[in-house]
Chain A
């Protein structure tokens, strides 16, 4: 246990007595300081929330801090080499894209091109006269819809990300319901599918037969929709996430690489090397995966792929946001400091008035042996305790406000749902309260220490 010095304990005891003796004045000081401390807490908490929310969105789209994106060259053996190299490796995920349709076969889906079901965004993704087609590199573009298209049916088209290795370790999609894909089990003939919220909306509002068709494939599978995630795309497009090795069996036959075809459990094969059929286009690498990267490059080079053109990019969302957030924080903290300054003026005012009233008490305390220094500490401890009490009250209000805001806004800002009141904001509140107590109490404390003892003799 930490033993406090006698001087410190004395000043705390006397400071506490002073506060109890002047409850109303203490309350008035607290009121004047409360808004200032609350402003500091709000700015700090707001900054933290904004940072986390922005970071969460960026991470969903581009990967967590430090993720390296490696863009693969187009070559007939690229997907096969990637699969063989990454098989069973941790901290790495390769992915590509394709289009799948679930529902009545040979009909035009309800959302051609995987467009949104939300009327505000339905033009995104090709609803109407254009449809979206993605190539092997992951680039998607609009393609005019064939006028002689089949009649509309109960089918939903999904932009699909196919994966070797769990992409969620890099893009932390928030699970909305159900579960995420199981990468540990043997690949199933009935592919597991996780939908994003926009796609889930389509399935919720329409009766869709359980028949899965991969773009270019000839046979249809029975899909298993296992979960729904928030992938940060909002309502812009209907997207699905699938294990590459589970979708391969239903992809066009010519897309399967000979070496991997029929390899069975744990040996996924390429299911698409041509445009739009889900060829692996990129790899996410965690920091420290340089060895895997080099192996991959060497094997691709040996296969004749143009590895000189392979580019990579490291994601640093925190760094990118830092300067903007810092500027915002400085502006808001400056405003909060102004409000805090008014609180300091309030404490100073009450403190000076109180010292004026307590001249005899302070002179008497010095007469019985209290040093000037301790007298300074006594007055400061009163204002510091007042600041601390105010900070605690403001933190309480901040926590309640945060919970209410999170409850009300979690629908619009899903990132808020997982957040709790940032302790840094609480710390900022305590520091603001103590600094205000120190600044507001310093001049009264110095005045109190200067009161001559002879005041009690002249009285």
Chain B
């Protein structure tokens, strides 16, 4: 069986106004279906950059990226958008919910993206199933301003799960939440892996990281197994 994700020697250099800075210097990573991986690292170590490459927001300068055994290292933008819609779900530290839409409409946003069309009834069923999964179906008609931080993040997770992705990429999803709510959110994310979805969690919180099957640390642009507590 092909691994879900396989990165080999992936490099990335950021070219800003200052001198070019190599952020990733040969990253190797393998994620299998149902796998959960935590990535730790100091601020600026390149965790988010790595997540950007994994989620096809950006392209690597070197190395190889295989998804289900298919080389997607230099995928054109149009095909990358199709894959982002079909294969990936994203959860960010800030929830990025649109204030003028209800919770259900925010979730439906991932379905109304031009990648295939679902009739309104089917769309609604899928949205409600996703909200049910994260335990907030009863808040479907509420706008984000009437939801707590934890509820908002669960709406964001429902949006990531609604298309039943193969990979869930979470960038510090608990960063803006209290401990109790954060635990709840991690529970919801881990629940997604039971159905075979791969989870890659970028976090500063060792406690949350330890709940994943594997914990890796990004240091000097390379991934290694994490043995010690990370200073945040």
- Give me the interface of A with B, judged by CB distance under 8 Å: 5-7, 9-11, 13-14, 17, 20-21, 360-361, 364-374, 452-454, 456-459
Given the interface pairs A17-B100, A369-B81, A371-B78, the reply to whether A454 lies near B58 with Cβ below 8 Å is yes
B101-A457 in contact (CB<8A): no
B57-A454 in contact (CB<8A): yes
- Chain B residues contacting A459 (CB-CB under 8 Å) are 92-94, 96
Range for the number of chain B residues in contact with chain A: 20 to 34
A360-B96 in contact (CB<8A): yes
B100-A21 in contact (CB<8A): yes
- Chain A residues contacting B90 (CB-CB under 8 Å) are 367-368, 456
- Chain A residues contacting B92 (CB-CB under 8 Å) are 456-457, 459
Residue of B nearest to A366 (CB): B81
- Give me the interface of B with A, judged by CB distance under 8 Å: 48, 51-52, 55, 57-58, 77-78, 81-82, 84-86, 90, 92-94, 96, 98-101, 105, 109-110, 112-117, 159, 163, 171
A368-B48 in contact (CB<8A): no
A361-B98 in contact (CB<8A): yes
B57-A20 in contact (CB<8A): no
Interface of A is mostly: helix
- CA–CA, A369 to B101, complex, Å? 19
Scoring B78, B112, B159 by chain A CB atoms within 10 A of each residue's CB, the highest score goes to B112
Residue of A nearest to B116 (CB): A6
A369-B48 in contact (CB<8A): no
B86-A369 in contact (CB<8A): yes
Scoring B52, B81, B93, B101 by chain A CB atoms within 10 A of each residue's CB, the highest score goes to B81
- CA–CA, A232 to B74, complex, Å? 77
- Chain A residues contacting B77 (CB-CB under 8 Å) are 371-372
B82-A369 in contact (CB<8A): yes
Scoring A7, A13, A367, A459 by chain B CB atoms within 10 A of each residue's CB, the highest score goes to A367
- Chain A residues contacting B109 (CB-CB under 8 Å) are 364-365, 368
B85-A369 in contact (CB<8A): yes
Question: 21 interchain pairs (CB within 8 A)?
Answer: A6-B114, A6-B116, A7-B114, A10-B113, A10-B114, A13-B112, A17-B100, A368-B90, A368-B110, A368-B113, A369-B81, A369-B84, A369-B163, A370-B81, A370-B85, A371-B78, A374-B113, A456-B92, A457-B51, A457-B52, A457-B92
Between A and B, how many residue pairs show CB distances below 8 Å?
90
A367-B117 in contact (CB<8A): no
Tell me, rounded to whole Å, the shortest Cβ–Cβ distance linking B121 to chain A: 14
Tell me, rounded to whole Å, the shortest Cβ–Cβ distance linking A279 to chain B: 78
B84-A368 in contact (CB<8A): yes
A453-B82 in contact (CB<8A): no
Tell me, rounded to whole Å, the shortest Cβ–Cβ distance linking A241 to chain B: 66
Given the interface pairs A368-B84, A371-B77, the reply to whether A457 lies near B57 with Cβ below 8 Å is yes
Tell me, rounded to whole Å, the shortest Cβ–Cβ distance linking A368 to chain B: 4
B84-A17 in contact (CB<8A): no
- Chain A residues contacting B98 (CB-CB under 8 Å) are 21, 361
- CA–CA, A360 to B78, complex, Å? 20
Tell me, rounded to whole Å, the shortest Cβ–Cβ distance linking A374 to chain B: 4
Tell me, rounded to whole Å, the shortest Cβ–Cβ distance linking B116 to chain A: 6
Given the interface pairs A17-B100, A457-B52, A457-B57, the reply to whether A369 lies near B110 with Cβ below 8 Å is yes
Residue of B nearest to A368 (CB): B110
Tell me, rounded to whole Å, the shortest Cβ–Cβ distance linking B56 to chain A: 9
Scoring A13, A366, A456 by chain B CB atoms within 10 A of each residue's CB, the highest score goes to A456
A20-B84 in contact (CB<8A): no
B113-A364 in contact (CB<8A): no
- Chain B residues contacting A457 (CB-CB under 8 Å) are 48, 51-52, 57, 92, 171
Tell me, rounded to whole Å, the shortest Cβ–Cβ distance linking A103 to chain B: 80
A369-B96 in contact (CB<8A): no
B171-A368 in contact (CB<8A): no
- Chain B residues contacting A21 (CB-CB under 8 Å) are 98-101
B82-A14 in contact (CB<8A): no
- Chain A residues contacting B163 (CB-CB under 8 Å) are 369
Residue of A nearest to B93 (CB): A459
- CA–CA, A367 to B94, complex, Å? 14
- CA–CA, A10 to B109, complex, Å? 9
B116-A367 in contact (CB<8A): no
Say which residue of B94, B101, B171 sits within 8 Å of A17 (CB atoms).
Answer: B101
- Chain B residues contacting A11 (CB-CB under 8 Å) are 114
